[in-house]
Amino acid sequence: MVDSLLGCNGRLTKGVTSLQNNGVYGHLSWACDDTATDGSVTRTIMVWHIATTLCEQLDPLAKEYDTVASTISRYCLHLLVFTPNLLPDHSSVSDSILDQSIDEASMFLKGKGTKKMLDRCKLLMEITAHNGGGGEARLVAQGARLARHLIEDIKEPARRWKVLADFWAEMMLYVSPSNDARAHLGAVARGGEFITHLWSLLTHAGMLKQGPTWAEDIV
């Protein structure tokens, strides 16, 4: 995360810089696309969280290489569920998108009769592959599509997990700036959140807003 902060030149992006630096921006940029994700940070987080979870379950070498990506991915989901007011989107947007992802996952797995996480992940990958991704609006289908690209296009596990770790480190920084000091002070009163410490750090550094989404906007 320190590397992401030092390398952003004061302009935080929604994963763009990390994808560029890892040479995968060309075929993964759609997963950070504001036009495909209606501009919401919540939708981007959910798509990448689904993809990260699928990679974690389906990659037999995940435990050897993955220490950062899954941890930050789960923490971002924790923020969406329990403290959405600390994130850029309005809490109603976060709630709506979370509900959508649960409904979609239930729809894909309805009647399949499996409760094991690994089996569910395999089913999601199989079902979304057979129905062409299930439509661009579907979060679960997009997450499965992203996981498929990560697994099939990035053969080396170490590189795959570096791409994911660098993305999540940048995303964690991207969602941290906020003008809502009251929300963060409230979090401190309840014991504090990691994002609040980042918010304080970025505020003192003068980084109060998110930056551009697209590579061509980064100088």
109-148: pLDDT as tens digits: 776 666 788 888 888 888 777 655 444 458 898 999 999 9
Spatial separation of the C-alpha atoms in residues 81 and 95, rounded to whole Å: 8
Q: Which residue has the higher pLDDT, 66 or 199?
A: 66
Spatial separation of the C-alpha atoms in residues 114 and 105, rounded to whole Å: 13
Spatial separation of the C-alpha atoms in residues 23 and 6, rounded to whole Å: 19
Q: Report the pLDDT value the prediction gives residue 13, as an integer from 0 to 100.
A: 80
The string of pLDDT tens digits covering residues 152-182 is: 999 999 999 999 999 999 999 999 887 677 7
Count CB atoms within 10 A of the CB of residue 192. Answer: 11
Owner of token pair 């050897």: 64
Q: Which residue has the higher pLDDT, 2 or 149?
A: 149
Q: Report the pLDDT value the prediction gives residue 109, as an integer from 0 to 100.
A: 77
Q: How confident is the model at residue 218 (pLDDT cuts 50, 70, 90)?
A: very low
* Count of domains observed in the chain: 1
Q: Report the pLDDT value the prediction gives residue 219, as an integer from 0 to 100.
A: 40
Residue 18 C-alpha from the chain's centroid: 13
Half-sphere exposure of 83 (CA within 13 A, CB side): 23
The string of pLDDT tens digits covering residues 192-209 is: 788 988 888 877 766 655
Among the listed residues 210, 202, 213, 215, the one whose alpha carbon sits nearest the alpha carbon of residue 1: 202
Domain that holds residue 23: 2-217
Q: Report the pLDDT value the prediction gives residue 134, as an integer from 0 to 100.
A: 46
